[in-house]
Amino acid sequence: MFVRRVFLRWMFLAVVVLPLWPLLGWVIFDGNNNGWDFLGLLFAMPILFIALLAVTLLIYGRAQVRRQRALEWGDVAVLAIWHATIIGFGIFGSSMALFGVLGVIAGLGALWYSIWRLFREAAVRTREAMAEFERLAQQQPGAPGQPGMSAPRFEDDGEYIVIEERPRDS
């Protein structure tokens, strides 16, 4: 439970920290000294920020995550893989391109996984709510479908006359 709660907090912090890491890694590990690569980083890091934010909000949007204040183990695994590829990319070694490709694949996987989990939990909660409504409807006296009970009858009380009052001109 401790690791899952730490990852919940880290997930929000990572939205800001991880897009800054490759920029900082460029300075620390001396990049390629190529201005075009740095310009590419300046273009890609806002996209990474948006992707991290989207996945974070999709995961936090699940009621079970908010209720437990902890991620599921699947969420932890998906995020750990994605975040590790981002950190590996920011080291700017000989495997930078491999980490870049794996990071994009892991990011897309994390996005689809979080969407799937959100819809799956929503479907389960909807089924539970519908079952509860059906159970409550069956408990009401005179509910249609119960043996020996008939549907409630509505009778017309007759004709109504509506009289509108208008102020008189004096």
Q: What would the two tokens of residue 40 be? A: 């590419």
Is the entire prediction scored with pTM above 0.85?
no
* pLDDT > 90: percent of the chain: 61
20 neighbors 38 (Cβ within 8 angstroms): no
Report CA dihedral (136, 139, 141, 145) to the nearest 10 degrees.
Answer: 90
146 pLDDT higher than 70? no
74 neighbors 36 (Cβ within 8 angstroms): no
pLDDT digits (tens, 9 = 90+) for 106-144: 999 999 999 999 999 999 999 999 999 988 888 876 555
What is the average pLDDT value for the chain, to the nearest integer? Answer: 87
140 neighbors 146 (Cβ within 8 angstroms): no
pLDDT digits (tens, 9 = 90+) for 62-76: 999 999 999 999 999
60 pLDDT higher than 60? yes
